């Protein structure tokens, strides 16, 4: 089998393809022949050495990747829901950039009829992140006003669709002209292209009284103003700090990271109470052990895809040997939708 291995934190050259022995399942596990592996911005953070749960659960060396789609290669004792050859989707806490993956049965679901492997691998991380951040944390109500940063990316694309499912008015923020139509096609009611217009004056023109929900993975660049543009009772959901990482460098710019850390807002509970606003934050990888939640939520998401309530993100594929190029593309900020590796 082949696996992408990172020996130590660094730039793109740290992503190396290694030959490993084929896997054998133990009690309650399946081995999957991976046909497609999802790529997420969190994987870039893992490579740079700044993803906290990677240090907690793995250390170095590490193989990034949280999601795959493929065919069952072998099953261990006690596995009853799958057979060799079944087409499946699986989630994993790291190790996803592999041609084979050994995973507990609880983290495997059937790939619905008619779904390609690439489509299957594009769903779990971004839609589970979007679902948890929007549905669980923000708890949107019909008619509420939602602003979504980075709305043409993987999570952003999912957030637009879930917010529309809940009957919300969606303002999508994108960073390039070619992303505007992508956001509109997913259902956004208004789109702000911050490469051609001032973000916050445009947001105020759309919702003068503020937004009920703002979803922000940018970090210091936008957090203060995201909070300031909440309506009374508004909720700011934070799920990343992408702007702390310089585009195109491939590694952490320590001076910029320190500066962004220093200017990251420290929200005061007394002021939040007076303002009647909330700030919520999460890291999905720490929720991996909530098996019932994973199965129920991903099952619901797949059902929405099967009924046509959700549409797949735009998918760009790279062979796994081009994993360095895949990371470069993702970090460029120019991509739309989801990147998937093909082993």
pLDDT at 248 over 70: no
Nearest to 44 by CA among 335, 328, 275, 333: 328
| pLDDT of res. 252 | 75
Rounded-to-integer distance, Cα 8 and Cα 23, Å: 24
Low-confidence winner among 95-104, 138-147, 239-248, 329-338 (lowest mean pLDDT): 239-248
Q: For residue 279, what are the β-bridge partners?
A: 236
Same-domain status, 272 and 333: no
Nearest to 6 by CA among 338, 337, 327: 327
Under 8 Å between Cβ of 37 and 341 = yes
Same-domain status, 19 and 44: yes
Band (pLDDT 50/70/90 cuts) for residue 289 is: very high
pLDDT at 55 over 70: yes
Q: Write down which residue in 284, 299, 327 finishes a domain.
A: 284
The alpha carbon of 59 is separated from its chain's Cα centroid by a whole number of angstroms, namely 21
**Which of 305 and 261 is assigned the larger pLDDT?**
305
| pLDDT of res. 256 | 80
Same-domain status, 129 and 273: yes
Same-domain status, 114 and 185: no
pLDDT at 314 over 80: yes
Based on the structure, what is the number of domains in the chain? Answer: 2
Residue 267, domain member (yes or no): yes
Same-domain status, 110 and 212: no
pLDDT at 249 over 80: no
Same-domain status, 90 and 227: no
Rounded-to-integer distance, Cα 207 and Cα 232, Å: 13
Residue 199, domain member (yes or no): yes
Same-domain status, 262 and 236: yes
> How does 36-59 read in b/e, with b if 16+ C-beta sit within 10 Å?
bbbbbbbbbbbbbbbbebbeeebe
In this prediction, residues 323-328 reach a mean pLDDT of 98
Same-domain status, 58 and 193: no
Band (pLDDT 50/70/90 cuts) for residue 253 is: confident
Same-domain status, 245 and 133: yes
Same-domain status, 278 and 129: yes
Q: Write down which residue in 243, 265, 284 finishes a domain.
A: 284
pLDDT in tens, 56-84: 999 999 999 999 999 999 999 999 999 99
Residue 146, domain member (yes or no): yes
Same-domain status, 78 and 139: no
Under 8 Å between Cβ of 52 and 283 = yes
pLDDT at 172 over 90: yes
pLDDT at 254 over 80: no
Domain hosting residue 108, numbered range: 2-123+312-342
pLDDT at 205 over 80: yes
CATH number for the domain that contains residue 172: 3.40.50.720
In this prediction, residues 174-180 reach a mean pLDDT of 96
Two tokens at 150? 């980075």
Same-domain status, 263 and 246: yes
Q: For residue 45, what are the β-bridge partners?
A: none
CATH number for the domain that contains residue 109: 3.90.180.10
Mean pLDDT of the chain: 96
Residue 162, domain member (yes or no): yes
Residue 305, domain member (yes or no): no
Hey, how many other C-beta atoms are within 10 angstroms of the C-beta on 300? 12
Band (pLDDT 50/70/90 cuts) for residue 327 is: very high
Q: Are strands 29-39 and 67-75 parallel, antiparallel or unpaired?
A: antiparallel
Residue 306, domain member (yes or no): no
Is the pTM higher than 0.85? The answer reads yes
Q: Write down which residue in 269, 284, 299 finishes a domain.
A: 284
Under 8 Å between Cβ of 209 and 187 = no
Dihedral sign from CA coordinates of 236, 237, 243, 248: negative
What percent of the residues of the chain are helix, what percent strand, and what percent coil, each to the nearest 5? Answer: 40, 25, 35
Residue 59, domain member (yes or no): yes
**Which of 291 and 243 is assigned the larger pLDDT?**
291
Q: DSSP characters for 258-309?
A: HHHHHHS----HHHHHHHT-EEEE--GGGGTT-HHHHHHHHHHHHHHHHHTS
Q: DSSP characters for 57-112?
A: HT-SSB---SEEEEEEEEE-TT--S--TT-EEEEE-SS--SBSEEEEEGGGEEEPP
In this prediction, residues 127-150 reach a mean pLDDT of 98
Nearest to 223 by CA among 246, 201, 200, 204: 200
User: In this structure, what DSSP letter does residue 311 have?
Assistant: -
Low-confidence winner among 20-29, 206-215, 260-269, 304-313 (lowest mean pLDDT): 260-269
Percent of the chain residues topping a pLDDT of 90: 92
């Amino acid at each position: 089998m082949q696996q992408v291995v990172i020996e130590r934190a660094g730039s793109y050259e740290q992503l190396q393809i290694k030959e490993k022995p084929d896997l054998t399942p133990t009690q309650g596990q399946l081995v999957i022949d991976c046909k497609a592996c999802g790529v997420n911005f969190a994987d870039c953070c893992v490579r740079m050495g700044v993803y906290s749960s990677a240090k907690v659960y793995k250390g170095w060396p590490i193989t990034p990747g949280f999601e795959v789609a493929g065919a069952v290669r072998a099953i261990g004792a006690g596995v009853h829901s799958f057979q060799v050859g079944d087409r499946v989707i699986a989630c994993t806490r790291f190790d996803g950039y592999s041609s084979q993956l050994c995973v507990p049965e609880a983290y495997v679901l059937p790939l619905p009829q008619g779904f390609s492997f690439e489509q299957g691998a594009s769903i779990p991380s971004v839609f589970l992140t979007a679902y948890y951040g929007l549905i669980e944390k923000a708890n949107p109500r019909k008619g509420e006003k939602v602003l979504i940063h980075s709305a043409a990316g993987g999570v952003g694309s999912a957030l637009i669709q879930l917010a529309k499912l809940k009957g919300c008015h969606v303002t999508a923020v994108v960073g390039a002209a070619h992303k505007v139509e992508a956001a509109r096609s997913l259902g956004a009611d208004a789109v702000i292209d911050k490469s051609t217009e001032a973000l916050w004056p445009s947001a105020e023109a759309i919702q003068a009284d503020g937004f009920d929900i703002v979803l922000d993975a940018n970090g210091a660049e936008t957090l203060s103003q995201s909070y300031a543009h909440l309506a009374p009772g508004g909720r700011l959901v934070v799920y990343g700090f992408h702007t702390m990482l310089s585009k195109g460098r491939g590694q952490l710019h320590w001076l910029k990271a320190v500066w962004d850390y220093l200017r990251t807002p420290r929200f005061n509970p007394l002021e939040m109470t007076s303002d009647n606003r909330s700030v919520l934050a999460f890291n999905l990888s720490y929720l991996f052990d909530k098996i019932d939640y994973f199965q129920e939520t991903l099952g619901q998401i797949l059902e929405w895809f099967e009924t046509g309530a959700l549409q797949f993100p735009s998918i760009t594929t790279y062979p796994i040997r081009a994993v360095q190029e895949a990371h470069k593309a993702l970090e460029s900020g120019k991509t739309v939708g989801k990147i998937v590796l093909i082993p």
